Amino acid sequence: MGRSVSKPTANLLAEPVRRRNDTVNRDFRVFRDGSSLFQSESEQQGSKTVFEAVHRLEYAIGSGENGISFVVRRGDHLFQAPLSYYAATKTWDFSPGFLQSGEGFNRPIYEACIVCHAGQPAGRSAERRQV
């Protein structure tokens, strides 16, 4: 699956998407602003918004043959976005495990994830050869 990391393209989203996770009482959206894609997570209590977190989708992971998951950046760290695009059904839905875990934007992307899905990160192979 190497070499399957790219920038997300807005053409994956014809119209905004909304999904609800009743287990954690949270709503999730995918939307675009210009050529960028965003995902949000929010919680409502009646008509009051308790919180809303909005993140730009920085990277798309996957060839698109089965699906595409997305990465957001929080400071210097990368996290998997809760919603993924599934090619067979051409729909957006929860990334594997997110309905059960309720992690929201808190599932870290580790170096091993990047190596498996994209090969060595830039600069890392040279560092490892010197060790």
**Rounded (5°) CA angle 69-73-79:** 50
Identify the pLDDT of residue 62. 82
Q: Which helix (H) or strand (E) holds 113?
A: helix 111-118
Contacts of 4 (CB under 8 A, 6+ apart): 61, 62, 63, 117, 118
pLDDT in tens, the chain (131 residues): 445 788 888 888 889 999 999 988 999 999 999 999 999 999 999 999 999 999 999 999 887 788 899 999 999 999 999 999 998 999 999 998 888 888 889 999 887 776 666 655 555 544 443 43
CA distance to 37, 39, 40, 54, 91, per residue, from 29 (Å): 10, 5, 5, 9, 13
Determine the Cα–Cα distance for residues 26 and 41; give it in Å rounded to an integer. 7
pTM, two decimal places: 0.82
Structural tokens at position 31: 């939307």
Determine the Cα–Cα distance for residues 62 and 107; give it in Å rounded to an integer. 17
* Cβ(38)–Cβ(32) below 8 Å: yes
